Chains A and B, each alone.
Chain A
Amino acid sequence: MSLAYLVSLLYQYADNVAFLLLAAVGLMIILGVIDVINLAHGELIMMGAYITTLTYNHAHLPLPVCMILSVIGVGLFGMFLERTVIRRFYNDKLGALVATWGIGLILSQGTLLLLGPSMQSVPHPEWTVSYGGYSFGGYRLLLFAIAIFVVIAAWWFFYNTRLGVQTRATMQNAKMAQSLGVDTRRIYLLTFAGGSALAGLTGALYAPTTTIVPLMGTTFVDVAFITVVVGGGANPILGALTSSALLSVISAGLSSVLGTFIGRIGLLIAALVVIRFLPQGFSGYLRDIKRRRMARASE
């Protein structure tokens, strides 16, 4: 087993982790703070990809600018969604699921009608890195770096900014946060916008790597949903990290040996097994361990 082979395994692993993280983190933050699953998440990712592609193809702006436009655009759309639809379902979680699924359907079918079945993609940046007989995509490495950066930025935001702390307080106990002067409605609005913006970012980042079709969201959501289920809503960042770390082992491992489809099925089975024994996901389990440890310490 040569070093180069190990590096190539690591590369595949990092590639998987990046994909899972970027696909899931926006959804998980919304789940963690608002306790709502946005089933239109895939379509928000699709929107991000489309905005990037459209602005690149027609306005000929540099790619990073197009991506930033995606983030802003989808974030604003998320705000609009929260004000008009999402906030009516805070007491009806299953209702939120169904309503957002309806929105997703409208978005994907609407895109199909307005923009046709496919669109010319943004060209993939050809930055190959060669090492030991293997060649690696520099862009995919960049995506991994961005994914890690997003997680660190989110962690920093939640623990080191006033708004972040208020958001965590709302997450733990919304009523108490409210009585302490936190504007929980605004927190929910900003969280939903933020989660949507992250979805837009994912779509923008992966736009050069895939075909641009209205139903492209589905390739992201099945792994995103599994990552969310395994991670749990108790702590979005920790959950996203632990979940993607574990699932990528399974996904990369199975895919390289038996193909991507077996890889996906393996992920679903892994999710079922995890959920059977850790119903609150990894972050819920870790939270329970922490509580027990704190309890023992005070004895």
Chain B
Amino acid sequence: MATERESDSRAFLQVENLTKSFGGIRAVDHVNLNLSKGELRCLIGPNGAGKSTLFSLLSGLQKPEAGRILFKGEDITSLPPFRRVQKGVCQKFQTTRIYRGLTLSQNLLIARRVHDGIENGRLNWALKTLGLDGQPERLAGELPHSHQQWLEICMALATEPDLLLLDEPTAGMTPEETALTAEFAIQLNAQGMTILVVEHDMGFVRQIARFVTVLHYGRIFAEGTLEEIESNQNVRRIYLGEQ
């Protein structure tokens, strides 16, 4: 449901100097990140690089020690998570957290918080593409794992976000399912959705083949197109474990 906004040169999502520590460890260290409207960005990095922490800061589950987050020009740093969702930032979490004891249709009904009765074309398209439009009375907890992941993506979509944060959406999926998810993300982005994806699966990242940000020890290590990143010797090194 994209409304026409005057195009501005300011980024859609602006992360300034974001810092968060746990214990003595800087999980996120003065991160600066800019996302344009309609972008499809992949966030990659070795384990422990701080990707999930960065996402928690974006969705509001954690509070930063320093820095701020601007969304559509508005400072959302001090907003609690539910307000950020209302503003249009929605995260799909790494471990699925659907309402296992409720049916598919009930899960979606709950996620469709705002718009009663109005058809959500994009949601219906998503459900169809991912094969979730049959069996609405199926208990969510009984779906196979990949379908649970897809249901969560659809639930995130149902909140009518302007920015979709996907945290490892293909975890536990087969290569076929991963490919389908990647294709889905591309088509969703083609419809105008701004997406930021955290992913480990390089096959998925390659299929999406857009702009990539590499995180390492909580800092932005490199940014560029997929080709640039893949040919970057330093990136190779951090992935292969050397310091």
Contact = CB atoms under 8 A, between A and B. Distances in A.
Chains A and B share a contact (CB less than 8 Å): yes
Interface of A: 294-296, 298-299
Contacts of A296: 24
Interface in B17-72: 21-24
Interface residues of B, number: 4
A250 B22 CA distance: 37
Contacts of B22: 295
A295 B23 CA distance: 4
Contacts of A294: 23
A294 B23 CA distance: 8
5 contacts: A295-B24, A296-B24, A299-B21, A299-B23, A299-B24
Contacts of A298: 23-24
A295 B21 CA distance: 9
Contacts of B24: 295-296, 298-299
Nearest to B23: A295
Contact residues of A: prevailing secondary structure: helix
Contacts, number: 11
A299 B21 CA distance: 10
Given A295-B23, A298-B24, A299-B23, 8 more contacts: A294-B23, A295-B21, A295-B22, A295-B24, A296-B24, A298-B23, A299-B21, A299-B24
Nearest to A292: B23
A299 B26 CA distance: 9
Nearest to A294: B23
Residue among B21, B22, B24 with the most chain A CB within 10 A?
Answer: B24
A295 B22 CA distance: 7
Contacts of A295: 21-24
A103 B21 CA distance: 48
A294 B24 CA distance: 9
Contacts of B21: 295, 299
**In the complex, the 4 A-B pairs of residues with the closest C-beta atoms, listed nearest first:** A299-B24, A298-B24, A295-B23, A298-B23
Interface string B181-221: 00000000000000000000000000000000000000000
A29 B23 CA distance: 29
Nearest to A295: B23
B72 to A, nearest CB: 33
Nearest to B26: A299
A142 to B, nearest CB: 47
A216 to B, nearest CB: 42
A215 to B, nearest CB: 39
A299 B23 CA distance: 7
Nearest to B22: A295
B62 to A, nearest CB: 14
B217 to A, nearest CB: 15
Nearest to A296: B24
Contacts of B23: 294-295, 298-299
Nearest to A299: B24
A298 B23 CA distance: 7
Contacts of A299: 21, 23-24
B172 to A, nearest CB: 23
A296 B22 CA distance: 9
A84 B23 CA distance: 43
A288 to B, nearest CB: 13
Nearest to A291: B23
A134 to B, nearest CB: 53
A298 B24 CA distance: 5
A147 B136 CA distance: 60
A296 B25 CA distance: 10
A258 B119 CA distance: 62
B81 to A, nearest CB: 17
B58 to A, nearest CB: 23
Interface string B5-22: 000000000000000011
A158 B91 CA distance: 43
B25 to A, nearest CB: 9
